Amino acid sequence: MLKQNAWKSLIGASLVILAACGSAETTVPPENTSLEPSPADVEPTLSGDSTEAPILIASPTIHHPIPNPDPGMASVYGYIKWNREGVPDLGLLMCEHIELMVGCDGGGPEFSSWTELDGMYSILNIPPGTYNLVVESVDGDEWFFVPAGQDPDDIAIVVAADQILRLPDYYMAMYEMVLIYPGEGERIDDPRPTFEWDPYSSATYYNITIAQLDGSLVASGEGLKTTQFTPETDLPNCEYGWQVEAYNDQGIKIAKHKGYSPFIIYGQPSSC
């Protein structure tokens, strides 16, 4: 896991997959979650006869864990998590457009940050506009887009002047699934092999996908309570890859295998 001092040197050199993109803003203030109402939120309301003393009804104000932005500017914050825990010391990069393997692309403002002990990050006092945000992987060799909403494909983060935007929690999945059978590159003379993987701590169920090398899905299983799976139909001679993902009891993905593990079916009467 990348530490803050390593993150600073990373910004000075390059961002591994995403090239470093210029000046950065990395201030993360202490969290304040008080819900006390401000005087402006307390309105007098008369109860019964108008001569009676007014009863004050408080309307709670949401206090963000970051300060208000400067006039005309905006701020963004959120949390990077794994399972139910915040993930600290991960670098983030934000700019108007991010092109993987290239970095910031578009000539606009560029910002960087990192996650604190509770997984919170913040990017303060940015000009209003549309941005992309990426977070590095735990091992520091990949970057992932942080979505603007519940749709993982919605990566356009729009902020307005004087706004504090709270982004949805982003849950990471560790590359810790261990696939047992078939092994990587193994040749199998069996049209319905029983796939097997190691159990993963904290996992409630597993999803498995089996696909041809061109991405065509040939078999899958969802909500599996065991660590084995046998396809319902025969697999013809072909090269395949398989992947297993682990989920907790809230349906949050917590682990997966890094990429599809390849294997080969041979000796069958038909081919893909």
Per-residue confidence (pLDDT) for residue 54, from 0 to 100: 44
Neighbouring residues of 220: CB distance < 8 A, sequence distance ≥ 6: 207, 208, 209, 210
More confident residue, 42 or 125: 125
- Single out the residue of 192, 214, 217, 184 nearest to residue 267, CA to CA: 192
The predicted pLDDT at position 73 comes to 97
Question: 3-state DSSP call for residue 9?
Answer: helix
Alpha-carbon torsion 97, 101, 107, 108, what sign? positive
> For the domain 179-265, what is the CATH code?
2.60.40.1220
Q: Is the pLDDT of residue 102 over 90?
A: no
With pLDDT > 90 as the criterion, what percentage of the chain qualifies?
A: 67
pLDDT of residue 119: 96
The CATH class of the 4-30+65-172 domain is mainly beta
Return the higher-pLDDT residue of 183 and 108: 183
Q: How far is Cα 66 from Cα 31, in angstroms, rounded to an integer?
A: 7
Looking at the predicted structure, is the pLDDT value of residue 223 above 50? yes
Question: Any idea which of 6-10, 21-25, 53-57 has the lowest mean pLDDT?
Answer: 21-25
pLDDT at 70: 96
Q: What is the pLDDT of residues 63-98, one digit of tens each?
A: 679 999 999 999 999 999 999 899 999 999 999 999
Q: What is the rounded CA–CA span in Å between residue 193 and residue 235?
A: 9
End-to-end Cα, the chain, rounded Å:
42
Asked if the model's pLDDT at residue 32 lies above 60, the reply is: no
C-alpha–C-alpha distance, residues 99 and 147, integer Å: 15
**Is pLDDT of 29 > 90?**
no
- The pLDDT of residue 10 is 37
Tokens of 65: 């864990």
Q: Where are the alpha helices (DSSP H) in 19-134?
A: none
**Strand, coil or helix: 55:** strand
- Is residue 113 within 8 A of residue 122, CB to CB? The reply is yes
Beta-bridged to residue 88, according to DSSP, are: none
Which has more confidence, 47 or 102? 102
Which part of the chain is CATH 2.60.40.10? 4-30+65-172
Residues linked to residue 78 through DSSP beta bridges, in sequence order: 121
Under the banding of pLDDT at 50, 70 and 90, the label for residue 107 is: confident
- The ranges of the chain annotated as CATH 2.60.40.1220 are 179-265
Handedness of CA 38, 40, 41, 42 (dihedral sign): positive
Report the distance separating Cα 127 and Cα 92, nearest Å.
Answer: 18
- Torsion, CA 120, CA 152, CA 1, CA 202, rounded to 10: 90
pLDDT in tens, 121-174: 999 999 999 999 999 998 878 899 999 998 989 999 999 999 999 999 999 999
Q: Which of 28-32, 133-137, 141-145, 229-233 shows the lowest mean pLDDT across its residues?
A: 28-32
The closest of 91, 254, 245 to 174, measured between CA atoms, is: 254
Residue 147 contacts residue 172 (beta carbons within 8 Å): no
**Cα Rg of the chain (Å, integer):** 25
pLDDT at 100: 75
Both tokens of residue 22? 């210029």
- What's the 3-state SS for 181-194? ECCCCEEECCCCCC
